[in-house]
């Protein structure tokens, strides 16, 4: 018998979104191992994975077949009994559906808006406003906003395969078949709801060309009918499908096959036999498939987990939705041939046993045969250009040449031979690579942006091209910056050049709409973005699926610092305090002690509860115990632990309900989680009352207070090692810190692992699985062929927006044209700044023409006074700027490129900085390197340098050099590397004076660098923007701050830092006020200060006493901030300021916008701005009525101080609020009086009659205190316009011996104490576990470093508190200030113990609301 071949034709990859458990390449790998002749990927409802699959298969030498598994919404023939399409529960409506979302609000306003306004105003005793002559009042039309989610969302959770529509598998036989698939899916997607395409038989009938259909296995219509005994129906359905897809004689010509699938399910024997008989009777061909969901048998476990996630259930609650056995893996031909229909012959109904076995074997063979006839080429290179229209008589290339020539004449005066030569060279390459149209498309885009005054600039490798420069695509002059065109395009390059264009983030949408208009919606689509599992999502969803209680899952997820699911273990082991649970039996005698120490990081009580939880949680099988029911908690132990958890500084113990102290609880703990942990904590660990540390076992006491014994858990528990002694505990706390990742081999079954181990293991396995699709931020696909023939389209969440099912990577593989239109917040900020300067100061600033090297700007950069400056504002940049001291634009290019993970890891930073400071001589490995590496002082820094070394030293051609760079970057295969290595060394040896050792060393350096390099063209483009933003920050700080605030979210720092930094530079910041603030932040005239920025400030910061112009009434501030005179606050001196800044620039202040208040969004913009222009609000009722804001938002406005200008105390306003909102909204006691259920209400339903009663008089309430005011402002806005929060504590801080940040640079190195607000916290992967905090007080910011052991010790406090009192060692290195933390306590606690003011809850609980974790 000849060897049997088989190809699997029905197989899900993980691109079926939680209905498949193996990635395409894993399936390919396994298929090759099994010797399959082909493999089809038939993902559910989409072609998301086909590009990767086809590429992986081609690489592995496997025959790829592209297909899809569809779920049909109707039956092929009439189905009155609903045996094919089962009745399902009705579609649930989304929460924001018209039933309860925006409609009531809308209706309310459209019906009785103005009338209510008048009556409410009367009610509150104010005179009615005149209505005439004012702009019409806009309606808050929440329901009509773009970006609203679709209201109907089909919820398939809890709906098993059997309850869904019947399946059908379609395979593409050829290119036409692929197009049919794309069209079919596109139509189905656009007709259906998001993620649930609507496929009907009628639609199937419209797209059959080139398609082969398989009956769909057990969930196909035919099998479903057979299983209920409807043989006639099954035959009719088969006949209909056969008619649709065509019959033939054999696998090569037939269009419809019956699938024989045997999963060892009940009745499978019978079903296979019955199907085979049906096929025989009707003369239809059969194929054997295995309806595969995962590559290997052991992957079944992960498949169950993803199924549980998909249905939102736990594994235990999944019985009805899970496949009952693990047979859905890829099987080989022999394994399938041995599959048992043989035994099925015992079934009485099918005595024709040999015939069935023969059919089964035929089915296997014909699967392979059918696979061989399917061939799709995903090459779309001929159709990639959308056909750019050029003037008559021109070709795209001749047109491009013409544009370049005129552009060059405009850009270059004079036109030097070097420019002409470079231009000719580039055009030559462009002509030969046929990319002229590509440049024309980009040029056209930039023309549009220019005409519309949309800020735009190219970045990335495109900026290295002179063609891009003269066409206005890039703003970087390539010759002056020694950029390399070959980095962008060369003839040897196989992938497509990418042009990234940054647009102002606010106006990018206009550009996108322009492209849609220009090339037509059928040729234009957004590239999708695959959202994949990362650490936190994996931990959450896998944890829930494995049955861990939600509070615990939350807690673990919050303890993660990593984004990489594979690294979860490292995170939890090193500093999550969860180490105990992940230790396998017998993994060292100190396991228990280590865990004890680990619990410390988490805090005593909660940590011990977790610890104990594990002990109580797992039964002797090492399994999770579900459902609780454990021994009662020794309440005394828990309470005792809580009381003993005071901090060493002697602050109050802070015991709270639930037995947790503030230190350990914090925002991460819900009462539920604490309660759960307590419930599980059958045996809590006792805590040392002195240190707050968990006690070692010897010192713990039992329930009766007697010295207790730490009973070692039973060895069979599998998770917990033996407890160690006290010494071990202290030792291992250090030893435990192990930032190096310890990836463990993956694969195999998780049977026998502990639950915690399994949790981690599953997280690692699910890492990178696609979870759902979202829209890519800016990738636009533009094609010549209709897009619908190239990729399936589907709806994006944004109405009217269509995305293709391919992501960025797929599009690159297919070599299609993709334009990356990115939104860059800084461009929006700069644009707004320039416009404000024009309107405020009547200065028209052309940033292209500002001088390139203003010394003042560089002085500011050298002083690291860069908060808000593009690219160089980060903590790491601020630490290096005073050392690198950039003084030219080229230096700035280096600065932008060097503070990156790559150069830091490659140890390029320190040599550069040392050479820059003259501490070590600039040295080159070989003289031939000098011209290449001169800019970067001998350090390899840019990708272009790698290429130029390859060209100029090793004698590569430019095209080869790009290949070299890429090969070095990706570390493809050893053989390829070795080849390049030899070529490189051989070439280098031809240089005079190059020794073999030097050549080897050079190769090593180049190879080490290439994997993380940065394109210089990109850095140059960014450096230009960084320079411009520095210029604006220095000379127009007010306008620049407004630009930055309005472009949020962007940059490195929260608004709080930007505002305080600006205030230190003398910018007046005015508080939010409904009667003065627009929705956006604006500038407001506050009169010129008496001091001028320059000159008038004395050395001690004093000024000449001139109070300046009076501050206008209602500004909300009584005094202007004085510029802080410190090293990190550069104020422009008189002469350049007069030259670059406008006369009136200092007379403007910043009025914070209402948008900064939480709860006020884009949807309120129109109404708030219109109402502001209609005149001031007089009363609270007036505000309520005119703005239509919900009660909680109004409360926030009051707490933010935005209603202070109504002239009433805040407490009184809060008192009134409920009453007033109730009266105008038909609410009594805060509850809606309309019909329950939120249905469509009649306009006046439930509204109390307007009785014109006066408002209730508020009782006499105490004035709000200053700490409360600031606390509220921080809680609601995240900042206070008048003061930085730390100022509040200054008096106590002085008593505690703390110094201000501004004073640090004048002190001598050594022990120091500071107090401040943590504004950013960083855990750079390059820093090996060291954590950096940016700590701000009212005088400035300082960098605080926590070494890994300090972090391990102080993690609990630092993670949960934003206001800290830090003891540490001051380090000064030139102008660089650094505090190495030794001890950290929460500032409010320390202050309270020092007799300072009681901290209001707003500040205490502020947590990290405004902080960015990086």
Partner 1 sequence: MREHPSIDVELDPEGRLVAIRWAGQREPVEVCNRWRIEEAWWRGPIARDYFKVVGRRWLALVYLDRVSGTWHLERLYD
Q: Closest separation between CB of residue 171 and partner 1, Å?
A: 28
Judging by beta carbons within 10 Å of its beta carbon (0-12, 13-18, 19+), is residue 1260 exposed, middle or buried?
exposed
59 near partner 1, judged by CB under 8 A = no
Q: Nearest-CA neighbor of 1008 among 960, 961, 955, 939?
A: 939
Stretch that binds partner 1, among 42-50, 588-596, 749-757, 1145-1153 (CB under 8 A): 749-757
Establish if 797 lies at the interface with partner 1 (CB under 8 A).
no
C-alpha to C-alpha distance for 323 and 227, rounded to whole angstroms: 17
Residue 265 makes contact with partner 1 by CB under 8 A: yes
Report the C-alpha gap between 136 and 1174 in whole angstroms.
9
Contact (CB, 8 A) for 188 and 205: no
Of the candidate residues 621, 734, 919, 1243, the single one contacting partner 1 (CB under 8 A)? 621
Q: Print burial letters for 1231-1255: b (CB count within 10 Å at least 16), e (below 16).
A: ebbbeeeeeebeeeeebeeeeeeeb
* Smallest separation, CB 272 to partner 1 (Å): 12
| Residue 1138 interacts with partner 1 (CB under 8 A): yes or no | no
Shortest distance, position 232 Cβ to partner 1, whole Å: 24
Nearer to partner 1, 325 or 853 (CB): 325
Query: Which listed range, 260-268, 927-935, 1148-1156, 1346-1354, lies at the site for partner 1 (CB under 8 A)?
Result: 260-268
Residues 348-367 that bind partner 1 (CB under 8 A): 348
Contact pick of 136, 751, 1236, 1260 for partner 1 (by CB under 8 A):
751
108 contacts partner 1 (rule: CB under 8 A): no
Q: By CB under 8 A, which span of 345-353, 909-917, 927-935, 988-996 interacts with partner 1?
A: 345-353
Q: Are 866 and 826 a contacting pair, CB within 8 Å? A: no
CB within 8 A of 1341, min separation 6: which ones?
Answer: 867, 1057, 1061, 1128, 1301, 1319, 1334, 1335
Part in contact with partner 1 (CB under 8 A); list of ranges 7-15, 75-83, 267-275, 1363-1371: 267-275
750 lines the binding site for partner 1 (CB under 8 A): yes
Q: What tokens were used for 495?
A: 């992938």
Q: Which residues, other chains included, contact 1074 with Cβ-Cβ below 8 Å and sequence gap of 6+?
A: 1154, 1172, 1177, 1183, 1187, 1197, 1202, 1203, 1205
**Residue 923: CB partners within 8 Å, gap ≥ 6?**
938
Tokens matching residue 149: 């989610």
Binding mask 186-225 for partner 1 (x = CB under 8 A): ----------------------------------------
Comparison of 704 and 751: residue with beta carbon closer to partner 1: 751
Q: Is 264 in the site for partner 1 (CB under 8 A)?
A: yes
Among 347, 679, 910, 966, binds partner 1 (CB under 8 A): 347
Residues 948-967 that bind partner 1 (CB under 8 A): none
**Which of 277, 1280 has the CB closer to partner 1?**
277
Judged by CB under 8 A, the residue of 183, 487, 758, 1016 near partner 1 is 758
- In the shown chain, the binding pattern of residues 768 to 787 toward partner 1, with x for contact by CB under 8 A and - for none, equals --------------------
Give the Cα separation of 626 and 623 in Å (integer): 9
Q: What string marks each residue from 309 to 328 as x (binds partner 1 by CB under 8 A) or -?
A: ------x--------xxxx-
- Beta carbon nearer to partner 1, 270 or 1085: 270
d(CA 299, CA 23): 11
| DSSP string across 156-202 | -TT--GGGSPPEEEEEE-SHHHHHHHHHHHHHHHHHSBTTB--B-HH
Residues near partner 1 (CB under 8 A), total: 29
How many other CB atoms sit within 10 Å of the CB of residue 417? 8
CA count, 13 A, side-chain hemisphere, 893: 24
Task: Rank residues 285 and 547 by Cβ distance to partner 1 and give the closer one.
Answer: 547
Least separation in angstroms between residue 357's CB and partner 1 is: 12
Local structure of residue 1155 (DSSP, 8 states): G
Minimum CB distance to partner 1 smaller for 346 or for 1414: 346
Closer residue to partner 1 (CB): 327 or 1061: 327
Choose one: 274-282, 300-308, 727-735, 1283-1291; the region binding partner 1 (CB under 8 A).
Answer: 300-308
Paired tokens of 285: 């061909």
Give the bridge partners for 782, in sequence order.
524
Nearer Cβ to partner 1 (304/500): 304
Q: Which is nearer to partner 1, 265 or 726 (CB)?
A: 265
Residue 519-548 contact track with partner 1, rule CB under 8 A, x = bound: ---------------------------xx-
Count the neighbouring beta carbons within 10 Å of the beta carbon of residue 651. Answer: 19
Distance CA 519, CA 1276 (A): 46
The SS3 assignment for 1107 reads coil
> Applying CB under 8 A, does 274 fall inside the site for partner 1?
no
Q: Within positions 546 to 585, which residues make up the interface with partner 1, using CB under 8 A?
A: 546-547
* Choice from 274, 304, 662, 1337 touching partner 1 (CB under 8 A): 304
Stretch that binds partner 1, among 750-758, 868-876, 886-894, 1150-1158 (CB under 8 A): 750-758
Q: Which of 343, 428, 491, 1349 binds partner 1 (CB under 8 A)?
A: 343
- Kindly tell me which of 353 and 1233 has the beta carbon lying closer to partner 1: 353
Nearest to partner 1 of 209, 325 (CB atom): 325
Tell me how far the alpha carbon of residue 1360 is from its chain's centroid.
23
Token pair of 377 as six digits: 């080429």
Residue 266 in contact with partner 1, rule: CB under 8 A: yes
Q: How far is CA 581 from CA 593, 741, 868, in A?
A: 12, 17, 44
Hey, which residues between 376 and 405 contact partner 1 (CB under 8 A)?
Answer: none
Contact 1032, 830 (CB under 8 A): yes
| Residue 547 φ then ψ, to 5° | 90, 15
Contacts to partner 1 from residues 881-920, by CB under 8 A: none
Residues forming a β-bridge with 1337:
1340
Instruction: Tell the smallest beta-carbon distance from residue 325 to partner 1 (Å).
Output: 4
* Beta strands, E only, 808-947: 818-824
Kindly tell me which residue out of 29, 43, 69, 268 binds partner 1, with binding defined by CB under 8 A. 268
Sheet holding 499-504, edge to edge: 456-459, 499-504, 818-824, 770-782, 524-532, 802-807, 793-795
Read off the tokens for 242: 């056969």
- Shortest Å, Cβ 349 to partner 1: 10
Establish if 623 lies at the interface with partner 1 (CB under 8 A): yes
Comparing CB distances to partner 1, the nearer of 266 and 1049 is: 266
CA distance 1365 to 1385: 5
* CA dist 1150 → 44, 254, 1077, 1090, 1103 (Å): 54, 74, 10, 18, 22
DSSP state of 1239: -
Q: Does 300 bind partner 1 (CB under 8 A)?
A: yes
Candidate segments 338-346, 534-542, 1201-1209, 1313-1321, binder of partner 1 by CB under 8 A: 338-346
Options 346, 672, 734, 1243; binder of partner 1; rule CB under 8 A: 346
Per CB under 8 A, which region of 275-283, 636-644, 751-759, 1210-1218 contacts partner 1?
751-759
| Least distance to partner 1, CB of residue 1273, Å | 50
Closest CA to 1134 of 1087, 1104, 1102, 1096: 1096
Q: Give the separation between CA 1396 and CA 308, rounded to whole angstroms.
A: 53
Under the rule (CB under 8 A), what is the footprint of partner 1? Answer: 264-270, 300-301, 304, 315, 324-327, 342-343, 346-348, 546-547, 621, 623, 749-751, 755, 758
């Amino acid at each position: 018998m000849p060897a049997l071949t088989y190809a699997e034709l029905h197989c899900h990859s993980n691109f079926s979104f939680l209905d498949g458990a193996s990635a395409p390449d894993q399936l390919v790998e396994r298929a090759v191992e099994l010797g399959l002749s082909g493999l089809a990927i038939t993902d559910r409802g989409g072609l998301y994975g086909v590009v990767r699959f086809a590429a992986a298969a081609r690489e592995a030498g496997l025959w790829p077949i592209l297909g899809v598994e569809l779920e049909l919404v109707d039956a092929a023939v009439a189905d009155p009994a609903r045996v094919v399409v089962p009745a399902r529960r009705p579609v649930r409506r989304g929460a924001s559906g018209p039933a309860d979302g925006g409609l009531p609000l809308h209706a309310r306003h459209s019906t009785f808006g103005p009338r209510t306004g008048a009556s409410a105003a009367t009610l509150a005793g104010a005179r009615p406003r005149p209505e005439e002559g004012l702009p019409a009042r806009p309606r808050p039309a929440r329901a009509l906003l773009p970006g609203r989610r679709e209201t109907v969302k089909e919820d398939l959770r809890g709906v098993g395969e059997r309850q869904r529509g019947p399946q059908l598998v379609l395979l593409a036989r050829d290119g036409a078949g692929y197009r049919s698939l794309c069209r079919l899916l596109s139509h189905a997607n656009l007709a259906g709801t998001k993620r649930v395409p609507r496929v009907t038989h009628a639609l199937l009938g419209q797209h059959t060309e080139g398609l082969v259909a398989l009956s769909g296995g057990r969930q196909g219509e035919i099998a479903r009918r057979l299983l209920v005994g409807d043989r006639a129906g099954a035959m009719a359905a088969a006949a209909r499908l056969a008619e649709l897809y065509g019959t033939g004689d054999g696998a090569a010509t037939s269009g419809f096959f019956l699938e024989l699938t045997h999963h060892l399910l009940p009745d499978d024997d019978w079903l296979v036999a019955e199907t085979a008989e049906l096929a025989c009777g009707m003369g239809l061909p059969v194929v054997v498939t295995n309806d595969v969901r995962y590559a290997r048998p052991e992957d079944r476990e992960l498949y169950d987990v993803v199924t549980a996630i998909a249905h939102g259930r736990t594994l235990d609650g999944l019985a009805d939705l899970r496949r009952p056995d693990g047979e859905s893996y890829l099987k080989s031909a022999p394994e399938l041939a041995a599959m048992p229909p043989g035994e099925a012959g015992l079934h009485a109904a099918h005595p024709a046993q040999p015939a069935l076995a023969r059919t089964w074997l035929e089915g296997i063979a014909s699967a392979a045969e059918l696979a061989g006839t399917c061939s799709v080429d995903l090459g779309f290179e001929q159709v990639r250009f959308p056909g750019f229209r050029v003037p008559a008589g021109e070709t795209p290339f001749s047109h491009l040449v013409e544009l370049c020539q005129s552009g060059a004449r405009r850009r270059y005066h004079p036109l030097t031979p070097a420019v002409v030569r470079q231009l000719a060279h580039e055009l030559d390459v462009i002509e030969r690579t046929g990319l002229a149209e590509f440049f024309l498309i980009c040029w056209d885009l930039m023309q549009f942006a220019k005409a519309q005054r949309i800020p735009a600039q190219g970045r990335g490798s495109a900026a290295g091209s002179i063609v891009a420069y003269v066409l206005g695509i890039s703003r970087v002059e390539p010759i002056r910056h020694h950029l390399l065109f070959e980095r962008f395009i060369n003839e040897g390059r196989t992938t497509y050049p990418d042009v990234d264009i940054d647009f102002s983030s606010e106006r990018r949408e206009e550009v996108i709409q322009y492209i849609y208009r220009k090339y037509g919606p059928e040729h234009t689509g957004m590239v999708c973005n695959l959202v994949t599992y990362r650490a936190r999502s994996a931990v959450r969803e896998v944890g829930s699926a494995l049955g861990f209680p939600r509070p615990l899952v939350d807690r673990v997820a919050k303890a993660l610092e990593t984004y990489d699911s594979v690294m979860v273990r490292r995170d939890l082991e090193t500093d999550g305090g969860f180490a105990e649970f992940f230790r396998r039996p017998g993994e060292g005698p100190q396991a228990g002690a280590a865990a004890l120490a680990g619990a410390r990081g988490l805090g005593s009580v909660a940590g011990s509860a977790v610890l104990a939880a594990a002990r109580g949680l797992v039964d002797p099988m090492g399994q999770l115990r579900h459902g609780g029911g454990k021994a009662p908690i020794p309440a005394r132990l828990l309470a005792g632990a809580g009381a003993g958890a005071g901090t060493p500084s002697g602050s109050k113990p802070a015991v709270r309900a639930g037995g947790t102290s503030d230190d350990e609880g914090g925002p991460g703990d819900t009462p539920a989680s604490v309660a759960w942990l307590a419930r599980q904590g059958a045996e809590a660990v006792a805590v040392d009352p002195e240190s707050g540390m968990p006690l070692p076992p010897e010192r713990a006491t039992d329930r009766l207070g007697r010295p207790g014994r730490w009973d070692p858990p039973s060895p069979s528990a599998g998770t917990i090692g033996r407890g160690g002694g006290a010494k071990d505990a202290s030792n291992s706390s250090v030893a435990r810190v192990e930032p190096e990742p310890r990836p463990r081999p993956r694969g195999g079954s998780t049977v026998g692992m502990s639950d915690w181990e399994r949790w981690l293991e599953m997280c690692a396995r699910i890492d990178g699985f696609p979870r759902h699709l979202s829209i890519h931020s800016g990738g636009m696909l533009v094609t010549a062929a209709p897009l619908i023939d190239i990729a399936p389209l589907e709806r994006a969440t944004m109405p009217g927006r269509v995305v293709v099912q391919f992501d960025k990577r797929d599009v690159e593989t297919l070599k299609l044209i993709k334009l990356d239109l990115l939104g860059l917040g800084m461009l929006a900020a700069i644009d707004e700044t320039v416009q404000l300067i024009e309107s405020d100061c009547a200065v028209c600033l052309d940033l292209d023409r500002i001088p390139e090297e203003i010394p003042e700007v560089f002085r500011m950069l050298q002083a690291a006074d860069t908060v808000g400056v593009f690219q160089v504002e980060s903590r790491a940049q601020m630490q290096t700027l005073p050392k690198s001291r950039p003084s030219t634009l080229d230096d700035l290019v280096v600065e932008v490129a060097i503070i990156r993970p790559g150069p830091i890891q490659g140890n390029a930073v320190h040599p550069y900085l040392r050479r820059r400071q003259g501490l070590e001589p600039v040295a080159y490995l070989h003289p031939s390197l000098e011209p290449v590496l001169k800019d970067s002082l001998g350090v390899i820094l840019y990708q272009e340098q790698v290429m130029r070394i390859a060209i100029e030293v090793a004698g590569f051609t430019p095209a080869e050099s790009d290949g070299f760079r890429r090969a070095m970057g990706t570390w493809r295969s050893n053989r390829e590397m070795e080849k390049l290595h030899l070529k490189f060394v051989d070439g280098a040896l031809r240089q005079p004076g190059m020794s073999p050792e030097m050549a080897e060393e050079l190769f090593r350096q180049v190879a080490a660098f290439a994997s993380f390099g940065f394109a210089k063209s990109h850095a140059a483009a960014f450096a230009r923007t960084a320079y411009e933003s520095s210029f604006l920050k220095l000379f127009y700080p007010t306008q620049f701050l407004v630009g930055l605030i309005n472009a949020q979210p962007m940059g490195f720092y929260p608004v709080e830092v930007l505002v305080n930094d600006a205030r230190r530079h003398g910018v007046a910041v005015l508080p939010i006020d409904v009667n003065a603030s627009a929705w956006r932040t604006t500038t407001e005239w506050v009169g010129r200060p008496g001091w001028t920025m320059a000159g008038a400030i004395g050395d001690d910061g004093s000024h000449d006493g001139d109070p300046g112009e009076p501050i206008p009434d209602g500004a909300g501030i009584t005094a202007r901030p004085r510029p802080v005179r410190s090293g990190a606050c550069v104020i422009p001196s008189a002469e350049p300021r007069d030259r670059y800044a406008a006369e009136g620039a200092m007379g403007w202040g910043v009025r914070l916008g209402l948008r900064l208040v939480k709860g006020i969004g884009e949807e309120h913009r129109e109404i708030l701005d219109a109402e502001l222009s209609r005149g001031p609000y007089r009363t609270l009722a007036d505000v309520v009525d005119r703005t239509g804001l919900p009660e909680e938002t109004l409360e926030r406005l009051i707490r933010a101080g935005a209603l202070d200008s109504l002239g009433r105390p805040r407490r009184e306003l809060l008192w009134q609020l409920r009453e007033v909102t109730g009266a105008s909204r038909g609410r009594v006691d805060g509850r809606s009086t309309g019909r329950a259920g939120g249905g469509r209400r009649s306009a006046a339903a439930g509204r109390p009659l307007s009785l014109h009663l006066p408002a209730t008089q508020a009782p006499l309430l105490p004035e709000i205190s200053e700490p409360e005011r600031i606390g509220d402002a921080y809680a609601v806005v995240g900042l206070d316009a008048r003061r930085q929060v730390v100022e509040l504590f200054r008096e106590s801080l002085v008593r505690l011996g703390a110094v201000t940040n501004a004073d640090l640079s004048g002190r001598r190195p050594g022990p120091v104490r500071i107090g401040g607000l943590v504004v950013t916290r960083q855990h750079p992967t390059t820093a090996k576990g060291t954590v950096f905090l940016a700590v701000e007080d009212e005088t400035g910011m300082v960098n605080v470093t926590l070494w890994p052991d300090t972090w391990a010790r102080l993690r609990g406090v630092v993670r949960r508190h934003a206001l800290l009192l830090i003891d540490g060692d001051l380090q000064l290195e030139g102008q660089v200030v650094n505090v190495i933390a030794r001890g950290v306590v929460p500032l409010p606690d320390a202050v309270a113990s020092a007799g300072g003011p009681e901290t209001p809850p707003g500040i205490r609980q502020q947590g990290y609301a405004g902080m960015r974790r990086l």
